[in-house]
Amino acid sequence: MVKKNINLGLIGLGTVGIGFIDLLTAHKKLIFDKTNLNFIIKKAVVSSLSKKRPPCTDSIELSTNPDFVTEDPDIDVVIELSGDISLALQALKNTLSHKKGFITANKALIAEKGEQVWPLFKQHNSLIGFEACVGGSLPIVKVIKESFMPEQISLVATIINGTANYILSTMEQEQLDFAEALKLAITKGYAEPDPTMDIDGTDTAHKINIIANLAFHRAFKFTKIDKEGIERITKKDLIYAKSLGYVVKLLGIAKKTDSNEHHIAVHPTMIKESSSLAPVRGVYNAALIRGDFLGDSLLYGEGAGAHPTAVAVVSDLIDVVSNLTFVESAKMRHFPQTAYNFQKGELLAVTELKHEHYLRLTVKDSIGVLSKVAKIISANEISISKILQQESSINDNQHLIDLIVITHRAKDVNIKKSIAQIDAEDFSCISPVHLRIEKNI
């Protein structure tokens, strides 16, 4: 039976949910002209029935019970926008058991519950959409699944948290400290009132985990991802990086090594000013995908916010509906059962990898300090490429200096040993700041 009117049930009616309604309303004719489909939001599940909502929700039936939409035979597709992992997982299971389509923007659901989620995706692959979990307006899920299907991906390097990228960009361009840039981000609505998951790297880790699973056809445990945030970065670090020809970005990186091992990490990273990721500033996101035959491809766009996320949700919605049996469409995209048939993935620890490194050591301006620093670093089998000395400040009538140490390629585990040993010395006044350097991104 051909069906043009598609009934939708939402779980979550917050900022993203309202953005989704805005898009369907504004582009209703455009979507119909392109797809011959008319999407109707019938019902929504909310946390509170008494909350005041905009007029665009007046025609939607509301409930606090997820079964209100997942078990309603008139609902064709459930769109989960709640951000609650437990609620989303149960809704996913109930929805698929009733043979409905399921779209989610819940990155934590897929990243942290992958052992339960991916088998469900494998079983019901044509009824699932999760582009909005990763890059907002960057269609990275679709690109990896479709455009890169015949390609061997060796690297995905991403800037996929708009809050963190805005903070670092603002610190660099406006010469602000971290706290000042964060306050400005919150004021402008680019950061949540509690931005912890954005600045400590958790949000990026959720997203790069999903990307890595798709890129390498492996199921990697989220808890095994090496993760660092941007909290300790100062405007001085950005100035020093620039003087050396680098910029600092919070990167989510997924690599396949020459020995066929895999590594996923999130950390602030120094990349060359000539890198294709270097000009990505403000709330914009980007993903660099490297393949054996295609070389480097770059996706760029706004990655967060209600409207970019809504575009990703509607795109998924059209694909999923095209695969439901009651719809005739010239745009069928039915992926094989092997699409999510992931092998168990093991991750190489960051401590075993080799990088060039940046260290900022704030130390007393005393005779012999430099030689002591060099001796500690050398004792940990690290070769120094360059040392710069900059006056830092005066603390308790003691002049302090910043020693900027750039190393040759060295194991992270040896760098961490050096940092701990230097930090324990009397001449060290502030815990060292450490950044990895990626010259091939």
Q: Please tell me the distance from the alpha carbon of residue 285 to that of residue 167, in angstroms, as a whole number.
A: 13
**Catalytic annotation, pick one of 207, 227, 249, 411:** 207
State the number of CA atoms in the 13 A half-sphere of 248 facing the CB: 32
Residues with Cβ within 8 Å of 148's Cβ and at least 6 positions away in sequence, in order, are: 215, 289, 291, 294
Cβ 95 vs Cβ 175: under 8 Å: no
Cβ 323 vs Cβ 334: under 8 Å: yes
Length of the chain: 441
Rounded to 5 degrees, what are φ and ψ at 297? -125, 145
DSSP character at residue 191: S
Q: What is the DSSP string of 3-50?
A: --EEEEEEE--SHHHHHHHHHHHHTHHHHHHHHS-EEEEEEEE-S-SS
Structural tokens at position 296: 């480097």
Structural tokens at position 324: 């439901």
State how beta strands 428-438 and 262-272 pair. parallel
CA-closest candidate to residue 266, choices 231, 300, 225 = 225
For this structure, is 207 an active site residue? Answer: yes
Q: Please tell me the distance from the alpha carbon of residue 374 to that of residue 240, in angstroms, as a whole number.
A: 20
Which are the catalytic amino acids? 207
